[in-house]
Structure 1
Amino acid sequence: VNSFTALHFRSVEDPDGPALSSAMTIEKLFPALLECFGIILCGYVAGRANIITPTQAKGLGNFVSKFALPALLFKNMVLLDFGDVIWSFLWSILVAKVSVFVIVCVLTLIVASPDSRYSKAGLFSIFATQSNDFALGYPIVEALYQNTYPEYLQYIYLVAPVSLMLLNPIGFAFCEIQKWKDEGNHQQTKILIAGLVVLQVLKNPIVFMVVIGIIAHFVLHQTIPAFMAEFVDGLANSFGGAALFYLGLSMVGQLRKLTRSTVVTLILLITAKLLLMPLICKDMVDLLDNSNTSSLNHSSLSNYAFLYGVFPTAPSVAIYAVYYNAELEVVTSGMVISTFLSAPIMYVSAWLLSSRWMDPQFLMNSLQSVSFNISIVSVVAMVWTIAVMILSKKFKKLPHMFTVNLFVAQFLTCIGMILWKFVVKGDSFIGQVLTFTLLCISLYSTYVWPGLIALSLVLMKNRKDTRVSPGVFVIIGWGVPTLVTAALLICGKKMSGTIDSSFFYVVFLFSWWLESVKYPHDNCLKCENRCESTDCLLVQVEELQQVADRQVARHVLLCLLLTVSLLANLSSCLWLLFNRVPGRLYLELVFFCAVANYGQGLLSFALFGLDKHLIILPFKKRLRNLWYGKKQEEQLPSDLPEDVRMTTMQFIKYHKEQCFHDIVKKRRCGRRTVVDCFLGCELVEWLQQVGLAQDCGEAVLYGIRLQQGGVLQCINQEYGFQDSRLYYLPPKSIFIPTLYSTEIPSMLLH
């Protein structure tokens, strides 16, 4: 941020003055966020490691939605004190939700294709307005307002049911209309469609239990009878942890469903949910809440409305998408991304809104401290990520060659920010100029490289590598930022304060080009293993497939996330151009830009720093060996667990012959040898087809037990069973000498 911004920080001082105390207890926010997202992470790890299968997760989800949540709603509806409710605030939130619902619905009906516009309008509108109020929102509100405004907690139980009963039925109606149009016979009448919508609403446990709770509120006089109080409390208290854990489970594998044709829609929906919704909520409270004579109370309600709008989308929206079989990819991926993006937004928002008075120098120091701290973390992440790219030899191939340049730019940006903290207060003019040059060139380069990566993916579609000239891209990626920095040094003048960078427009054109181009889905199923034998033709095929994996989906997601940060930078500059008196929300935007600029390395690490073949699979192997104490193939039959023996005996007796007949094929392994083998993904698919497993998770567990029982083994006896294109051998499979030619059969390439 430049000196102009620093001077305008003084305009952010609250008119109420520093004498007014904060309406929030910000000290408890970080532990609450850590609690919520820590439990979510535990659930994700449990699902990712297949400790809990998708089928088992459905059971937990049914308990949460049909027992724990209804009990929680019933308890709070009975105990709710309507006398403390500020109805104008409730009305303001409802108007804000209706406004966002209408905006998303109308724009979708205008832009979407006629074939699916109604289902998209219904589901997207619900996505933008239905928040995860109970599992994630309530703990955050409790941490912030329990000691200052405890009555704010009850609004959670009032806003959510009203939204479900008023807005969701409209979305369901659009989905039913789309379903009616798709059937073609038009047998359903309008009355029947309306009846289905009403039935869908009444079937929702939240709506049903809210109605029952309100009736009980007046019948029981705000008191739960003693004989049922413990029972209700037991179910209600089990909701928090179970719901967050289930949320983590439901996130597993959702980003895989994201396709290149839906990323633009996803950007717009997340923008509507995390940016448009909180702003409209805050504005509506400012306009419609005229009942509060106290400016402090009015301000706290306005801030509370903003925080409420940031709550991410509820997982139940994904259930609606599955029920109507529409837009599942967008809804599930958006739920995951919005959940994790909401955490930093809520934290920064609460921190800024909780301060009743802003000292400009304090803000400048805080901004520099945030940039410095995030840079240190990013440096560590980038060193790891660059090392992974070098050790895996991906940096020699396109587009990873360009991605490494982006990583180097991100690394140098963090180094420049760390150095700037020490030289900005010194007297060394040369040191400041050199640090400024390093920081600007590298930071501007991080703005250019995402556009170049997107352009390279466009040019390399259908494997036309000859159309991409790495030298030209490298010159553009580093040359343009160098020229811009040189112009700044020549034409600019020395100013005190930190640096604000605003050269980020080039990425948009190339990124939007990327979204309009179709890519073949040949990067979805790739091999992750290699044999110890360098002469094995199966291994050669696997290596060819690994080299061909350009990780297009990861590159697209990286460009998408970096584009969001660039939009924030653009908004920051435009805000100052058109508004000479920035407010608290501008400060939040500035802090977000700082985190986005110097925290890019964390995104790169998450997407490219955990190479499956180089990092994850060896780690899982070592962990498995430490867990069991010895290699599983050395175990005697008597040492195997009972479930492994039973599964092995059942499979050998009833299914082995048919299974191997269906999936085992002869494949070339050496120049003069073939071997009977099959792919891990083929066994997973077969187990589900014959009913031995209900989903992929159970099929993988079944395959692991078969491997432990000696029914199958990996081709190099190194890795466990996986749902992938790794080759596995049936028991006592031998190599058969043949007189085949040394060419690789074409069937091995498919």
Structure 2
Amino acid sequence: MESVFDAILPIFGIVTIGYLAARFGFMEEAAIDGLSKFVFNFAVPLLLFRKIAQAGLPNDMPWELPIAFYGGVIAIFLLSAVLGASLFRRGGAEAVSYGAAACWGNTVLMGIPIVLATYGDRASLPLFIIIGIHTLVMVPVLSLGYAFAGGKGRGLGAALGDIAGDLVRNPILIGLLAGLLYGRYAPPLPTVLDETTRLLGEASMPAALFAVGGTLARYGIGGQAPHALALSVIKLVLLPAIVWLLADRLLGLPHLWTQVAVVLAALPSGITAFLFASRYGAAKNTVTTTIVLSSFIGLVTVPTAIWLVGP
């Protein structure tokens, strides 16, 4: 357990430094936003491009991995939305936001650094399979959920337009597809391109963690804290448990792949859940509170999840 904390605490240390820098005015919101855009629009897509272009994907796609991960994620989304509507008495669109907060983890900004720091480059393939198709799976699920719930008067047509726009413009998806095409049809990366993408990829990890901390500094503990606490527990405890059952017990994935899936499932709620809640005007305060609470609770639960799934 001590070795797990030794690997993970520096990661949360960078998040804390980013939080303090923004909280005490050393980094303005515009600077944090710019750093986040650099990470999401350039550094991570180029990291993904380089890893996929060099390693490629297996000839036989291991569909058991996304089935285990996204089976758990979608199950938690539906469960949390139902709980939001029934137990917490939230309206249709607000219930969908509850589901989003409980299922959409911080897989890019925190997931990549944590998984690579814990398991090394050998975890790159399962890591990038999950992250690469995250948008393809979850954007349609959430957008259609809001459409059927009547979020902010947006119907099915508007939801389909949102889905198409989000997919076409998503830098992570573009990086994945570009890496796949280059790896399959082009020669090995030239030295200059390889070194450029390597340097940017290495910059993505500390920059992403710093940006997470800086972003958290602008959100506080708002309304519906008991609801947010319940959603945080679902996200940090129940979701990784379900993914472990699917990956290890039901589908029998290789141990490393199970570890990666469980750790990604155990991450705190991601900022994207707030972006969806804002787009559809539903339960924004509860979602932001869930993001903050789950991030702080994750200081304990994420290392615990890594320890539980073993070396």
Q: Report the TM-score when normalising by structure 2.
A: 0.86
Q: Take 1:66 and 1:321, find their aligned partners in 2: how far apart are those partners?
A: 22
Q: 1:518-570 CA distances to partner (integer Å, 9 max, x unpaired)?
A: xxxxxxxxxxxxxxxxxxxxxxxxxxxxxxxxxxxxxxxxxxxxxxxxxxxxx
Equivalent residue, structure 2, for 1:126: 100
Q: Take 2:258 and 2:27, find their aligned partners in 1: how far apart are those partners?
A: 41
8 Å Cα contact 2:225-2:289 kept in structure 1:
no
CA 1:263–1:134: 2 relative to 1, 3 Å? same
Matched, 1:277 2:239: yes
How far residue 245 of structure 1 moved from its aligned partner, in angstroms, is 0.8
Q: Take 1:189 and 1:102, find their aligned partners in 2: how far apart are those partners?
A: 20
CA 1:80–1:128: 2 relative to 1, 3 Å? farther
The DSSP-based 3-state class of the residue aligned with 1:52 is coil
CA 1:303–1:76: 2 relative to 1, 3 Å? closer
8 Å Cα contact 2:105-2:269 kept in structure 1:
yes
Q: Take 2:151 and 2:280, find their aligned partners in 1: how far apart are those partners?
A: 13
Equivalent residue, structure 1, for 2:81: 105
The DSSP-based 3-state class of the residue aligned with 1:167 is helix
The DSSP-based 3-state class of the residue aligned with 1:254 is coil
Q: 1:322-347 CA distances to partner (integer Å, 9 max, x unpaired)?
A: 33333221222211221221222232
One-letter identity of the residue aligned with 2:268: P
Q: Take 1:189 and 1:302, find their aligned partners in 2: how far apart are those partners?
A: 38
Q: Take 1:352 and 1:254, find their aligned partners in 2: how far apart are those partners?
A: 31
Equivalent residue, structure 1, for 2:114: 140
CA 1:145–1:192: 2 relative to 1, 3 Å? closer
8 Å Cα contact 2:151-2:281 kept in structure 1:
no
Q: Take 1:194 and 1:109, find their aligned partners in 2: how far apart are those partners?
A: 24
1:30-109 equivalences under 5 Å are 30-83=5-58, 86-109=62-85
Q: Take 2:307 and 2:205, find their aligned partners in 1: how far apart are those partners?
A: 24
CA 1:288–1:82: 2 relative to 1, 3 Å? farther
8 Å Cα contact 1:122-1:172 kept in structure 2:
no
Aligned with 2:278 (options 309, 314, 322): 322
Q: CA RMSD in A?
A: 2.8
CA 1:130–1:79: 2 relative to 1, 3 Å? farther
The DSSP-based 3-state class of the residue aligned with 2:268 is coil
Q: 1:205-231 CA distances to partner (integer Å, 9 max, x unpaired)?
A: 22233233322231226x323342233
Q: 1:222-270 CA distances to partner (integer Å, 9 max, x unpaired)?
A: x3233422332232222111111111111114224x12xx123212211
How far residue 301 of structure 1 moved from its aligned partner, in angstroms, is 4.8
One-letter identity of the residue aligned with 2:213: G
Equivalent residue, structure 2, for 1:546: none
Q: 1:137-188 CA distances to partner (integer Å, 9 max, x unpaired)?
A: 2333234323xxx53332121112323211222212333456x6645xxxx7
Structure 1 unaligned residues grouped into runs of 5+:
1-25, 356-750
CA 1:110–1:210: 2 relative to 1, 3 Å? farther
8 Å Cα contact 2:126-2:257 kept in structure 1:
no
The DSSP-based 3-state class of the residue aligned with 2:105 is coil
Q: Take 2:251 and 2:151, find their aligned partners in 1: how far apart are those partners?
A: 42
Q: Take 1:197 and 1:79, find their aligned partners in 2: how far apart are those partners?
A: 30
Q: Take 1:112 and 1:348, find their aligned partners in 2: how far apart are those partners?
A: 29
Equivalent residue, structure 2, for 1:236: 201
One-letter identity of the residue aligned with 1:126: A
The DSSP-based 3-state class of the residue aligned with 1:307 is helix
The DSSP-based 3-state class of the residue aligned with 2:182 is helix
Q: Take 2:17 and 2:29, find their aligned partners in 1: how far apart are those partners?
A: 15
Matched, 1:342 2:298: yes
Q: 1:717-750 CA distances to partner (integer Å, 9 max, x unpaired)?
A: xxxxxxxxxxxxxxxxxxxxxxxxxxxxxxxxxx
Q: Take 2:130 and 2:44, find their aligned partners in 1: how far apart are those partners?
A: 15
One-letter identity of the residue aligned with 2:104: Q
Q: Take 1:177 and 1:82, find their aligned partners in 2: how far apart are those partners?
A: 35
CA 1:139–1:32: 2 relative to 1, 3 Å? farther
Q: Take 1:287 and 1:236, find their aligned partners in 2: how far apart are those partners?
A: 34
Aligned with 2:175 (options 202, 205, 209): 209
Matched, 1:156 2:123: no
8 Å Cα contact 1:254-1:329 kept in structure 2:
no
The DSSP-based 3-state class of the residue aligned with 1:238 is helix
Aligned-pair identity (%): 22
Equivalent residue, structure 2, for 1:199: 165
8 Å Cα contact 1:88-1:288 kept in structure 2:
no
How far residue 64 of structure 1 moved from its aligned partner, in angstroms, is 1.8
Length, aligned pairs only: 310
One-letter identity of the residue aligned with 1:169: P
Equivalent residue, structure 2, for 1:247: 212
Looking at CA atoms only, which structure, 1 or 2, has the larger radius of gyration?
A: 1
8 Å Cα contact 1:126-1:317 kept in structure 2:
yes
CA 1:129–1:224: 2 relative to 1, 3 Å? farther
Q: 1:633-654 CA distances to partner (integer Å, 9 max, x unpaired)?
A: xxxxxxxxxxxxxxxxxxxxxx
8 Å Cα contact 1:44-1:251 kept in structure 2:
yes
CA 1:190–1:330: 2 relative to 1, 3 Å? closer
CA 1:346–1:196: 2 relative to 1, 3 Å? closer
Q: Take 1:271 and 1:284, find their aligned partners in 2: how far apart are those partners?
A: 19
CA 1:75–1:324: 2 relative to 1, 3 Å? farther
How far residue 86 of structure 1 moved from its aligned partner, in angstroms, is 4.6
The DSSP-based 3-state class of the residue aligned with 2:58 is helix
One-letter identity of the residue aligned with 2:80: V
CA 1:129–1:215: 2 relative to 1, 3 Å? farther
Q: Report the TM-score when normalising by structure 1.
A: 0.38
Q: Take 2:111 and 2:172, find their aligned partners in 1: how far apart are those partners?
A: 16
CA 1:199–1:302: 2 relative to 1, 3 Å? closer
One-letter identity of the residue aligned with 1:171: L
